[in-house]
Structure 1
Amino acid sequence: MESLGPVIQTITLIWAPLSRQIDYLKDLDSNMASLISEMTKLKCKREDIQTDIQAAVRAGQRTTKQVENWVEKVLNIESEVDSIVAEFNQRRQRLNRFHRIVVLRYKLSRRVAKMLRDVKYLSAEGVFDKVGTSPLLPMVIEMPTASTDGQTTSEQTLEEIRRYLHDEENRIICVYGMGGVGKTTLMKNINNQLIGTQDFDAVIWVTVSKDLNLGRIQEQIGSKLGLNFQNDDHEWWRCMELLGKLRKMRYLLILDDVWQGIVLEEIGVPKPNAQNRSKIVLTTRFIGVSNEMEADVQVRVKTLSVQESWNLFHEKACKAVLLPDIQSLAMEVVNECGGLPLAITTVGRAMRGKKKKELWINAVRALRGSVPDIEGMEPKVFLPLKLSYDHLQDDKIRACFLYCSLFPEDYNIEVDELVIYWAMEGFIDIVDSLQDASSQGHQILERLKDACLLEASSEVEDHVKMHDLIRDLALWITSSPSNEGPKFLVRAGLGLMDSPDEAMWKEAEKISLMNNKIEELPVQPNCPNLVSFYIRENPLLRAIPDSFFELMPRLQVLDLSHTWIVSLPMSLTSLVNLRALILKCCKSLVEVPPLGQLKELQFLDLSFTTIRNLPEGLENLVKLKQLNLSFLGRVTVIPSNIISKLSSLEDLRMFGTYVNWAKEWWIDDASEAMLGEVATLRRLMSLEITIQNMDCLAHDVIKWQWPTLKKFRFYLGRGKHDSPSSCDKLVYIVGLACVSFPHGIGAMLNHTEALILENCRWLRHTPQLGGDLRNLRELYIFKCFGMDCLVDWTEVGEDALQCLETLHLNSLPNLKKVFDGQMPCGGLRKLRLLHVSCCNKLKSLFSSSMAEQLNQLEELRVTDCEKMAVIIEGEALFDNALSNLHDLRLGGLAKLTGICDHMVDLASLQHIAVCDCPRLMKLPSCYGIQKIMGEKEWWEALEWEDESTKSFFRDRFYRSVWVR
């Protein structure tokens, strides 16, 4: 028996694995059922998680890598399980031999068992705390700034700041120095140098400014972190949101222009420490702020050396400083600037090109004048800056400069709005017209920008800003201690809940309380000197006291726009010197008192209000120059003989106001105004008006003073008018189902520069509208489903479309020809841009003879025209055809075989983009090409004359799926 022991042990060792293999054979069906069951559960879990992913994406989040990887694994295993199940079902039906059953069943059973283990493991792994996280934001946003190259002092300071940013000891760094010394410039350079590095997860720039506003600081930080705070969000809630974000990252927070200590915890900024390795840099004019904010280290920004100052001044003032009689005086001027970069730049530009010795002597005298009474800043900032103010041409330009200080600090001021405000204030001589005043205002604006007293906004196009130091200068000039200028009371953008003490109003000539949260005004403030009162953008202001205006005998400009007042008090009628009344966007305003007594009124803006009727006495305002009645949703009727009496009117705006104008044959009915009344305004130069019914476009429209109208925009029809054109003279026709059009339309088109036609279903061709189209520069036609031909040359004059530069044709399903007939010589001679899209019956665009005259065409774009076979049909083109075309885009043209039936030479072509044009097998001859964009498959299928040609173009090909 003892001899059997090893045998039994051997059998046992063999039986254990053999038993497992036998289990594979007998457990296949049960394992397959378990696998299907577990896979069903896993699919449900995957679908639930994908639903969560979609919700996170809609909330602006991105999916975590862990979740993405899990979902991908599940999708892969689903495919494998489906394959196994299919194989199981198939083989169970077909197997009929014992040995094959055993072998195949064994193999399949092993796969099923392994797959069951994998499915269970994935199911257990699919538990996540969250599926989404914050989207990736740019680490650093580049900021425009001046270079410090060649300024050794600045470069040394930059190196010192960089050193502190990378050490382990100093967490809060204070960069301090006098105003205008270049602290912001240095930090912008630091910011830009961090682009492309991995030093921080986020670099956050915040402009704090003099008037501390914690809510605004929170908004700036939040926007950099992808948090979109609302105006009514509580500061505490914002604080918690910011803390949650910043605790998870290594950040650099740059607090620029700090005037007082900030409690970081109140904002929601965790203090930098060894764990988060974050940094805070603050710039300030006052060393005390550094102590209040417990800075670890202080970096002083020094003024420029004498040589650096001279180099900068020479750059700004140009060659005049080197003249023998002037150089020593220029050195004195530079010395008086004290090495302050802002002062040097400002004074240098003010003296640029000045070659008279007396001007330089006077500059030195001015810089050495009496010290302005402003603590700490006066001798080294205001005197140099004030030199630019003193050198302005006259008092009106100075007044325009001072006026800009009425806006809040760091405010982006719209240029056109600023100029019209200057006109309201009387700073600009309105000699002939508002248009001349606008030109004069823009000229003044450029002078102020050239003198560095205003600067173009880097945030918003066509806006300007006042540097905070320059604004401080203006406010000092207009303050009570100064005898330099008018007296201003400015409390703009401070978040005030209450208006300033009434005693402060008495001396003021201009009061600006704009952009606050004021709810109540004084009952009867005594303002004998007040000329201008601005309380715009106070959304909590709902009422004005009845006697508020009674003691304001000199008031000329009143701006109540963007408030929620419901009505105006009768005391408004006592303002007999009022020149401007601005009520724009007072969306709760339903009633305005009679205005007939305001005989001096020149500017009246009632746009976006909810008044039911025009104010009584409007016809008595014979000096009115600008009237804005746009978007008056409740005004549908204008009584007759009101508009016609506004004999001085130059600018009338009625966009979005649907007035029921009387028809021509109702001329005996005196209750409603006819559109012809507008035509009687002999001084009218700018008109913007919506006309919903063309029946009112009578014959007398032909007699309008079209040469006098320098700018007009007619919006005909009821609908949304989104104009793509910036032309001064525009006609936009939308949604009109007319076969014939009034003669008034033709009169308009004789003078218009831009024509937009949208959803005019019965319009077959443009001559149907009337008019000669000789002045038309831009033509846009959208969704005119009945149009079959744009222009038949036999139906228009020889000078039609001779000025056309831009042509857009979109969604014209019945358009068979763009142009028909023989184009006259000179037709389309100025066409520069042509876009054609979704015109499914077009087979070509031009005839060859027409293409030979399009010598100014620069950009051609043709997309989604399913029958387009060639762009140009007919005979071979001359060599100079389309001689200026340098941008060609073709997309969604399934039948396009070529640009032309013959080989065409497009020598000026620089860019080609092609997408979804499978039959386009050859490129035109274009050896000046710089870039070809298209799908790889299209490129590889192109036919070439020889290998060298293919090689030439290959170097210019960029694989791209062009999005049309």
Structure 2
Amino acid sequence: MDSLGPVMQIILPFWAPVSRQISYFKDLSKNVEKLKKEMDELQDMRDEIQADVDDAISVGKRQKPLVENWLRDVRKIETQVDSIRLEFEQRGTILNGCCTDHFSRYKLSKRVVKNLKHIENLRGKGVFDMVAESPRRPRVLEMQTSLPREQQSTSEQTMEEIWKCLHDDENGVVCVYGMGGIGKTTIMKAINNRFIGTSDFEIVIWVSVSKDLNLGLIQKRIGKYLAIRFDDNEDIEENRDRLFARLKNVKYLLILDDLWEAFILDQVGIPKPDKHNRCKIVITTRFIKVCTAMGANKLIKVRTLTRGDASNLFYEKCGDVVLSSDIRLVVEKVVEECGGLPIAIKTVGQAMHCKDKKELWENALRALKGSSPEIPGMEREVFLPLKLSYDCLENDKIKACFLYCSLFPEDHDININDLVTYLAIEEGFIENVNNLEEASNKGHDILERIKDACLLEEGSKGNEYVRMHVVLRNLAIWITSSSSFIEGSKFLVQAGEGLVQPPEEKMSGGIERISLMCNKIEFLRIKPDCPNLVSLFLNDNCQLHTIHSSFFELMPKLQILDLSNTFIECLPVSLSQLVNLRVLILRSCRRLVKAPPLENLKELQLLDLSYSGFKNLPQGIASLVKLKRLNLSFSHLAIIPYNTIYGLTSLEDLSMLGVIHKDRTTFGKTANMTHLSSLRISMSHLNGFMASDMFHQWFSGLRRFNVQVGYERNEEVMCLSDKEICIRGCDNFACGIEGFIKLAITVRFQECKGLTSLSQLVGDSKSLRHLVVFGFSGLECIIDWRKVGDDALECLRELDLCNLPNLEKVFDGGAPPPNTRFQNLRRVQLQDCPNLRCLFSSSMVEHLHQLELLQVFDCPEMQEIIEGDMLPDNSFPRLCFLRLQNLSKLASIFSQRFIFISLEKIYVRSCPRLKKLPLFCSSIYEIKGEIKGEKEWWEGLEWEDENSKSLYSRIYQSPHSFI
């Protein structure tokens, strides 16, 4: 710089900008060509990237914002370059030849150079690892649900129960189960949507599983919610570790919808919910076994719609046509045939939409009752989805049992013992068993498996019955009459349809089972040609009185025949030809007095003549060498040929209740029946043979027995347990009966005398659970602890005492022996004991830890329930129900202040001297339950303070008719 002249030192700093401006003017054409080339290359790059973006978007991915901005910038500069090129081409001549347009040439040249730099910059930024990404899901993805307003009242309780479980730390895995089409998924979608806008979980994940379990697919569907991409070549174990690492720190709710098969959470990579992570899993399924196998803490059953909700849903699908008075009654019957099952209601409702002709509705009703798929959508939308549950039953035997249940009338409570009997004895249903007991157990197991699949449910009469939902019954009938059977229908089921005549035209061909039970058929005058018929149910046709003599001639394979509760007086001679018959039920045929000889029925295993009109056993019974069960209870038999009965050495179950035995020697012959496991028998009096050690040893081997002594013919006593002894009118217990009583679970004494205490008879029993004493005139106490040994009455759970005029103490002799286990007593009921002044001593109370219910009636001398000065801590910890009635002298429950910590209900009536109540709990602020009593008694109660009275007033109710 120093070598330059002074002038150049001044000019040089200004020369670079000037030179650049000159180059703009001079190199315009060359720069425009370069711009075109650079732009073409940028456009090629743009086209490749855009193609990648389009491919990603087509599979549901989202274009990355950086790529979106880059493409926008390319489009922007593309517009600018097009403008430059157009201007250069239009004004090229002027710009090259006219000196007056030098400024325009300069400006254009400058724009070209600027855009070249922009293009270079964009090409540098146009390198992307990924042009698109999976879209981020919301924390709760809203689900489309069809839960209508009309269904809310039915589903609301279930939804609230589920919602409560999802906010309870005790329930990590919740299982929502029920039959197919009942609305499990619909309810859970509504629950899912309910979490929108809440902060209960960091993420709610919904996975539809369906019939074929695929763990890899479950992983991928969970991964979508967590923005985890699993490659197809990755195995389940690799995916498991990635999924677990992502979920272990997330408070998630996972909904596994429609799970058919259990799996181990660890195999998929799902951290198990617990109190610490507060995560939840909800499973919807048709199978209870899935719930238990998945470790569900809570099982919630989804039930069918109520009648009102079912009607509302049907009307919504069907339209206003249902309001027509002409068809309203038929519509109601159609809705009833849908059984409250949403999938059936919707399908039938849509099929009948806007149909206003009564004939069409009556035809639809006929189709529904006949299990016909005539109604559009019925087969596709209802039967086939439900049949998937049937298809998943473990084997053909279980499937056959399910189909067998359809033989009973619609909405019929099916007696489990009867059903199991049919299944146990009919060939091909239950195999590999040694006796009726094992067969019965296996039958119960099969029914539980069907119930587990939600294809049967508990009957309305309790757990001794099952019931088949009307739509499932229609499904079973549809299966047995579908085109899959080439030779035609297997079942003919018209039970409970009010038939007056049998469907003669249908009773032929390859049909295997016919059920016409619960109809009004009077005559059977035909001779059906049914060479394959196995089961025939004609029971509960109460007007049936005539069967043609040749009716059974063409039924060579018949195994089960039920004619119970019919009006027949004699059996047709063709019955003798049923050489394969295994079960013959004539129960409650009260007019039946005649039968043909039975010696040809060599395969007969069950014969039920209970409540029949027979005065003599049918001829030929001695030849029934395979007979396992014989029921003669409460029949009109005047003479019992004991040698015939006791010669049936295959008998396992013999019932002769209500048929009075007077000959003790013949009764003793039952000890020779080595296969006998169940015996029910009546006797006129106690016999000396009971003192025999040999007889006791044989009797102790019976699985169940019911011995009734001293009852009149046809006088029934309700059976309370499997091993029961009922003694009535006895005044002599000196024949060794105490040894026999030791074997019983239930002992009942009625109208007996001759003893002042029962200690000798029942005090040493180790199996007695229920003791009933009614009208025992001489008793002064029930148990005298001084006369019993250790472990006395260790299993006693229920004590019922009634009409004991001389009873002074229930328990005498102080407290039970030191080693006693008399601590299982749960229920005590006491009535009409006029000399009883108190019920328990304070020393006895410490042995009543399990007592739950206490009822005391009609004891006019009773002054207090508990006698003594002090109670042990935590007395009556489980007592929840106390009922006191007609105790005119009762002054207190206990003389001192004490607390019932579990008491929920106390009912008091006609106890005018009872002025104080015990506390219900340790704190008056925890009071719950109810108090019922007359208003006058309530207002006369004495309280420690007004605050206590005010608090207990919250749970007081006037008695009305509570007693």
User: So what's the TM-score if we normalise by structure 2?
Assistant: 0.60
CA offsets per residue over residues 168-220 of structure 1, 9 Å max, x none? xxxxxxxxxxx9799996783537989xxxxxxxx99xxxxxxxxxxxxxxxx
| Aligned twin of 1:14 | none
| Aligned twin of 2:452 | 450
Residue 595 of structure 2 is aligned to residue 602 of structure 1: no
Shifted more, 839-848 versus 567-576: the winner is: 567-576
| Aligned twin of 2:380 | 379
Contact 1:876 1:903 in 2 (8 A): no
Deviation of 1:625 (Å): 1.7
Q: For residues 948 and 805 of structure 2, what CA distance do their matches in structure 1 show?
A: 39
| Aligned twin of 2:812 | 820
Contact 2:763 2:783 in 1 (8 A): no
Contact 1:487 1:510 in 2 (8 A): yes
Q: For residues 904 and 580 of structure 1, what CA distance do their matches in structure 2 show?
A: 61
Tell me which of 521, 524, 529 is aligned to 1:521.
Answer: 524
Distance 1:728 1:460, change over 3 A: closer
Deviation of 1:895 (Å): 1.9
Q: For residues 957 and 865 of structure 2, what CA distance do their matches in structure 1 show?
A: 23
Q: For residues 187 and 853 of structure 1, what CA distance do their matches in structure 2 show?
A: 47
Q: For residues 880 and 731 of structure 1, what CA distance do their matches in structure 2 show?
A: 36
SS in 2 for 1:255: helix
CA offsets per residue over residues 424-456 of structure 1, 9 Å max, x none? 323123613323322322222232233343344
Residue 764 of structure 2 is aligned to residue 772 of structure 1: yes
| Aligned twin of 1:642 | 644
Contact 2:492 2:506 in 1 (8 A): no
Q: For residues 884 and 767 of structure 1, what CA distance do their matches in structure 2 show?
A: 27
Contact 1:154 1:186 in 2 (8 A): no
Deviation of 1:894 (Å): 2.1
Q: For residues 904 and 373 of structure 1, what CA distance do their matches in structure 2 show?
A: 70
CA offsets per residue over residues 484-516 of structure 1, 9 Å max, x none? 797223333333333333674132222222223
SS in 2 for 1:888: strand
| Aligned twin of 1:420 | 421
| Aligned twin of 1:215 | none
| Aligned twin of 1:589 | 592
Q: For residues 733 and 911 of structure 1, what CA distance do their matches in structure 2 show?
A: 35
SS in 1 for 2:148: helix
In structure 1, the gaps of 5 or more residues are 1-148, 160-178, 195-202, 205-245, 261-280, 301-370, 665-673
Instruction: Report which of the two structures shows the higher radius of gyration computed on alpha carbons.
Output: 2
| Aligned twin of 2:309 | 190
Shifted more, 862-871 versus 637-646: the winner is: 637-646
Aligned AA (1:541): L
Deviation of 1:807 (Å): 0.8
Deviation of 1:778 (Å): 1.0
Residue 946 of structure 2 is aligned to residue 869 of structure 1: no
Deviation of 1:861 (Å): 1.9
SS in 2 for 1:489: strand
| Aligned twin of 1:439 | 441
Deviation of 1:382 (Å): 3.2
Contact 2:708 2:725 in 1 (8 A): yes
Q: For residues 348 and 945 of structure 2, what CA distance do their matches in structure 1 show?
A: 65
Q: For residues 185 and 917 of structure 1, what CA distance do their matches in structure 2 show?
A: 46
Distance 1:902 1:472, change over 3 A: closer
CA offsets per residue over residues 490-544 of structure 1, 9 Å max, x none? 3333333333336741322222222233333355433322222222222333233
SS in 1 for 2:383: helix
| Aligned twin of 1:715 | 708
Distance 1:409 1:858, change over 3 A: closer
Q: For residues 939 and 259 of structure 1, what CA distance do their matches in structure 2 show?
A: 48
Aligned AA (2:654): L
Contact 1:643 1:678 in 2 (8 A): no
Q: For residues 523 and 933 of structure 1, what CA distance do their matches in structure 2 show?
A: 64
Residue 803 of structure 2 is aligned to residue 811 of structure 1: yes
Q: For residues 474 and 432 of structure 1, what CA distance do their matches in structure 2 show?
A: 30
The residue correspondences of 1:934-949 to structure 2 (distance < 5 A) are 934-949=933-948
| Aligned twin of 1:345 | none
SS in 2 for 1:850: helix
Contact 2:348 2:378 in 1 (8 A): no
Aligned AA (2:559): Q
Contact 1:255 1:282 in 2 (8 A): no
CA offsets per residue over residues 246-303 of structure 1, 9 Å max, x none? 99xxx9996132799xxxxxxxxxxxxxxxxxxxx997675399332299x9xx9xxx
Distance 1:458 1:616, change over 3 A: closer
Distance 1:840 1:467, change over 3 A: closer
Q: For residues 748 and 698 of structure 1, what CA distance do their matches in structure 2 show?
A: 7
Residue 548 of structure 2 is aligned to residue 545 of structure 1: yes
Supply the RMSD in Å over aligned alpha carbons. Answer: 4.0
The residue correspondences of 1:4-403 to structure 2 (distance < 5 A) are 152-155=145-148, 188-190=307-309, 255-257=332-334, 287=352, 290-293=355-358, 377-403=378-404
SS in 1 for 2:865: strand
Q: For residues 591 and 354 of structure 2, what CA distance do their matches in structure 1 show?
A: 44
Tell me which of 892, 911, 915 is aligned to 1:917.
Answer: 911
Aligned AA (1:856): Q
Q: For residues 477 and 910 of structure 1, what CA distance do their matches in structure 2 show?
A: 50
How many residue pairs get aligned? The number is: 640
Q: For residues 409 and 505 of structure 2, what CA distance do their matches in structure 1 show?
A: 21
Residue 845 of structure 2 is aligned to residue 834 of structure 1: no
Deviation of 1:956 (Å): 4.1
Q: For residues 684 and 906 of structure 1, what CA distance do their matches in structure 2 show?
A: 49
Distance 1:959 1:794, change over 3 A: same
Residue 496 of structure 2 is aligned to residue 493 of structure 1: yes
Tell me which of 842, 850, 856 is aligned to 1:856.
Answer: 850
Q: For residues 932 and 181 of structure 1, what CA distance do their matches in structure 2 show?
A: 40
Residue 920 of structure 2 is aligned to residue 932 of structure 1: no
Contact 1:934 1:962 in 2 (8 A): no
Contact 1:258 1:285 in 2 (8 A): no
Contact 1:506 1:526 in 2 (8 A): yes
| Aligned twin of 2:632 | 629
In structure 2, the gaps of 5 or more residues are 1-141, 153-179, 187-302, 316-324, 338-345, 365-371
Contact 2:518 2:541 in 1 (8 A): yes
Q: For residues 886 and 570 of structure 1, what CA distance do their matches in structure 2 show?
A: 61
Contact 1:259 1:286 in 2 (8 A): no
Aligned AA (1:293): K
| Aligned twin of 2:104 | none
Q: For residues 907 and 539 of structure 1, what CA distance do their matches in structure 2 show?
A: 54
SS in 1 for 2:698: coil
CA offsets per residue over residues 43-74 of structure 1, 9 Å max, x none? xxxxxxxxxxxxxxxxxxxxxxxxxxxxxxxx
Q: For residues 619 and 188 of structure 1, what CA distance do their matches in structure 2 show?
A: 54
Q: For residues 258 and 818 of structure 1, what CA distance do their matches in structure 2 show?
A: 57
Deviation of 1:850 (Å): 1.6
Q: For residues 540 and 143 of structure 2, what CA distance do their matches in structure 1 show?
A: 45
Contact 1:662 1:696 in 2 (8 A): no
Tell me which of 656, 659, 675 is aligned to 2:658.
Answer: 656
